[in-house]
Every structure is written in C-alpha cells, then in structure tokens.
Chain A
C-alpha cells in the first residue's frame, strides 16, 4: 500500500472541508479524484502535507504515519505535489525552478535528472535560463510536473493539471500521466475537473461531494455509471 487515508477530517477556518475520508492508493496505480468545484479535492491533496492539518483520522504513507509530520518533511518521504494553478516560481529561471525540486534528493543525480526532464519536456531545454513567468500556461504546467519529478517521488500528486490549458496541452498532460505510469511505474493520485479524460487514464477513481467520498470504483465502472455521467460527464466536462 502506497497511501492510506482513514477517517480523515479537516477544517478550513469554520468550513468542515473533509468529512471522514477513506482513500487508498496502491503501488503502481493511477487513482483519480473527481468532483465539483468546492467538493474538497484540492484540500484533500494539501491535507496530505498538513495544510490544513487533519483534525482527526490517520494518513499512512509507505508504511509510516505521516499525519503529524511537519509540512516540509512530508515531501522528504517521497511525495511530490503539482499544485493547482501550477504555481511555478515566475521570477526564477527554469533551471532554478527545477533546482528547487530537489530539496532532499541526492544532489549528484541532478544532472542526470535534468537531462531526463528535458528529454520528457523538450520545451524546457532551450529555455533553461529564461524566467519561468514568460512561459505559456501549458509550458508552465510541464515545468511544474518536471519540478515535482526532480525529487524522484514514489507518489506523484497532480492537482487539476489540465485546468485552463489549450486542448493540445490537455492531451499532452494526459499522455504524460500515462507514460509516467506505464514506463516508469509511477504511482499517481490525480485530481481533475475533466472527469472524462481522468477516468479514462485511471485504474480506480473516487467521487468526492461536500468533503465526503460518495462513490468509488474502477475508472471504467464510473465512466459507465449513470449518476456519474449525469453529474460530471454529460455536458459537465470541458
């Protein structure tokens, strides 16, 4: 088991954002979390990092209880997040952004990993010394994914990676997710509004509503579930 959340509750100020989440991710799986805006998808992702800290429940990652670990030590255990809205460092160069990705990883791997990332995302190579803020949205998303991968994580969290991107880049993002999983065995937890795409690449999926998991199953099962179709797929996706 890579990740196991049991009975996780979390609050954002007075908002009870997560209400007893039970969720698991197995090694080598792509798991997706779908749900409407404000359902608590992003909160679930960042609660793994203690932001917000869960008020009750337990998070086990790779056999270790990380529920109370300080935020900055979580990634050291092997979890990397590609945050919603990319949140690359706009006033740093692409190279510096990638350097920021290796807070705990073995620094001697840096050159090798840099080459790997530039092979995976060719647009980054020619622009190493360019400010990241000058990249297009899609390019920034590639950089955000590359930054997360620089730490060689065991679990990759992707929060709305296709949001606001041109169709070309949306396709590219889902290709990369599949490629990382298939070719590198990367375990991925994916949050998406684009339920149609997400369910197609996922092995398993959870549906989140008002901070609760209301449905789970394989990607195929949910794709053909009439309730899911009505709520998240037909006309709802973009």
Chain B
C-alpha cells in the first residue's frame, strides 16, 4: 500500500513531464498533420539551456533557489521557443506543399542535427547540476517504508496543473485559440478568411516548445543530470503518450502522459526497473494495432 502510494506520486511527476512534452507533438500534428520528431530534441536543448543558466547564476552568486528557478524557467522558455520557431521555419515550412513524407524525413534530420550540435558544443558526457529542492514531506511511515513527496515533485505537479489549465483556456477561450483550432480544421479556408496561417503555425511550434522547455527545466532540477541523448527517450515516450491519448487531442495528450508516467513508475517498482520501457512500447504497439485513434482521439475519416 505504501509502496503503491509512493509510485503514484512518482508516476504523477513523471507523467506531468511526459504530458507537457506530448502536447507539443499533438498540437503540431493537429495543425500540419506531421509528427515533429525533432520535438524531443528541442526538449533536450531546453534542459541544456537550463543547466547553462543554473551554472551561470551560481557563478554570479545567486543563492536563492526560487529566484534561480524562476530565471531559469524564463530563459529556457524564451530560448526554446526560439528553437521551436527556427525548426519550423528552416526544416518544415519550405516543404509545406511537398509530399507527406518529406517533412517527416526533414524532422528526423533535424533531430539528428540537434543531438549532434549539443554533443559537439557541450560534450558527450553527462552534465550534472547541484541538487535543488531535494527536501520534502514524509506523508506517513509504515514499517520501514516511508512515503515521501519532495518539493521538486510538488513543484512539477503543481506547475503542470497550472500550465495545463492556462493552456486549455488559451485554446478554448481566446481568439488565438480559435484561430489555432480553425487551422486544424481547414487551413486553406482560414487563409481565405484573412488569417495568416504561417504565423499561427509558427506560434503553435513556439507554444509546444515552451511547454517542453518547462518540462526540460523540471527534469534537470529533478534528476540533476542531462545528456545530449535524453531527448530521444523522453521524446518517444511523450510521443507514445500522444498516440495513446489520440494524436491531435489535447486532453488526450495530458491523459496519455499521466498513464505512461504511472505505468513506468509501477512497472519499475513491481516488475523490473531495467525493463520499465517495455511497458511503454507495448502500449504504443497495442494502440497502433487496435485503437489507432487513441483514447480520446477522433477516428480518421477521409473527407469526401
């Protein structure tokens, strides 16, 4: 019971991170119908921006953790959005009217490029950051097992809930959100009605990247280590989350993220920590085989 509760807390933390990244996949798929395989690497870049900024702040003598976190979040979100914008502008927009496969290949190329760029400029070794917010609350102790939630976990879960709420409001209630949904449903007509579709697509990439940046900062703070390869693993898990929830569905991405996070925690704890990723990928294969539209997605219907 205590162990299950602990895994629930860990799983929610992990699921929050996957959910934040998964939104970027699902939004981009919704608007231009392609999987942005470089998204995981944009997330990885944000983690490096976080490490650099943390280090810089430490060198400047900033010792207040909340202040440092706030600065790092702002810096990471700004720079990572710029990355998201640049990726779309250079790798996808020139291929907007080409075959469906071309931007996909371009995405994989962009992913390899980002990994190598970081590897060359930052080194292939794991980069550590000093532990932060490692204090926490012990909820209860049963026998030798105590259930604990750390400040970092609280921060991740709370921040994710706030961001998801804000993001849902943005998409469902604002003029930009309406235009974004309009582009998802009919890009050409949206342009005919007088909206700059390219601008809306750019903003979509930037929002996706910004949410991934928050995830990147949180992970850096939570685990304390990053390397140039974390984007691949996190990316493919967040992608699984997006597929599980139904690609194109925003609530689906959040739900999918939570399920994958929980599954991974429980699998690692009860079955085998070495093979925890199997669970995720079994889900990916199962969903693709038996329910390709995901839990909350709409079935793909060919337009007449």
Contacts and interface: CB of A to CB of B under 8 A. Distances in A.
* Physical interaction between A and B: yes
Interface of A: 46, 49, 51, 70-76, 80-81, 83, 87, 89-92, 96, 99-101, 103-104, 147, 151
Contacts of A151: 193-194
A73 B193 CA distance: 9
Contacts of A81: 192
B148 to A, nearest CB: 44
Contacts, number: 55
30 contacts: A46-B192, A51-B191, A72-B191, A72-B194, A72-B197, A73-B194, A74-B192, A74-B194, A75-B192, A75-B194, A80-B193, A81-B192, A83-B192, A87-B189, A89-B181, A89-B182, A90-B185, A91-B185, A92-B178, A92-B182, A92-B185, A99-B178, A100-B178, A100-B182, A100-B193, A103-B194, A103-B195, A104-B194, A147-B193, A151-B193
B186 interface: yes
A104 B178 CA distance: 15
Interface of B is mostly: helix
B190 interface: yes
Contacts of A46: 192
B278 interface: no
Contacts of B182: 89, 92, 100
B224 to A, nearest CB: 43
A71 B191 contact: yes
Interface residues of B, number: 17
A63 to B, nearest CB: 20
B117 interface: no
Given A49-B191, A71-B192, A92-B185, 13 more contacts: A51-B192, A72-B194, A72-B195, A72-B197, A74-B192, A75-B194, A80-B193, A91-B185, A92-B181, A92-B182, A100-B195, A104-B194, A151-B193
B186 A87 contact: yes
